[in-house]
Amino acid sequence: MSYKQTEFWIVDKFWEYEKQRQFIKDAALWIKKGEVVAFPTETVYGLGANALEEAAVKKIFEAKGRPSDNPLIVHIADTSQLSELVEEVPQVAQQLIKHFWPGPLTIILKKKQSVAESVTAGLDTVAVRMPNHPVALELLRDAGVPVAAPSANLSGKPSPTSGEHVYHDLQGRIAAILDGGQTGVGLESTVLDCTKDVPVLYRPGGATITEIEAIVGPIKVDPSLISKEEIPMSPGMKYTHYSPNGSFVLVQDQKKLVRLLAEAKASGKRTGVLTTEENRDKYEADVVVSCGKRDDLRSVANHLYESLRKFDLEEAEIIFSETFPNEELGIAIMNRLEKAAGGQIL
Ligand code: TXA
Ligand code: MG
Q: Do residues 148 and 51 lie in contact, with contact meaning Cβ atoms separated by under 8 Å?
A: yes
Residues touching ligand 1 (Cβ under 6 Å) are: 41, 43-44, 46, 70-73, 106, 108, 120, 123, 125-127, 131, 149-151, 188-189, 191, 202-203, 234-237
Is 130 within a domain?
Answer: yes
Q: Which of the listed residues 184, 208, 232 is the one where a domain comes to its end? A: 208
Judgement on whether residues 33 and 166 belong to the same structural domain of the protein: yes
Judgement on whether residues 186 and 257 belong to the same structural domain of the protein: no
For the cut 90, the answer to whether the pLDDT of residue 184 exceeds it is: yes
Judgement on whether residues 152 and 92 belong to the same structural domain of the protein: yes
Q: Do residues 248 and 321 lie in contact, with contact meaning Cβ atoms separated by under 8 Å?
A: yes
Mean pLDDT over 170-198 rounds to: 97
Which ligand 1 atom is at minimum distance from the Cα of 127?
26
Evaluate if pTM is beyond 0.85.
yes
Judgement on whether residues 43 and 175 belong to the same structural domain of the protein: yes
pLDDT of residue 156: 87
**242 assigned to a ligand binding site:** yes
Tell how strand 287-290 and strand 271-275 pair up: parallel
Mean pLDDT over 57-81 rounds to: 96
Judgement on whether residues 77 and 158 belong to the same structural domain of the protein: yes
Q: Which of the listed residues 151, 177, 208 is the one where a domain comes to its end? A: 208
Domains held by the chain: number: 2
**247 assigned to a ligand binding site:** no
- CATH number, domain of 119, equals 3.90.870.10
Tell how strand 73-75 and strand 125-129 pair up: parallel
**Number of Cα atoms under 13 Å in the Cβ half of residue 81:** 20
| Domain range for 285 | 247-340
pLDDT in tens, 191-243: 999 999 999 999 999 999 999 999 999 999 999 998 888 888 888 888 777 88
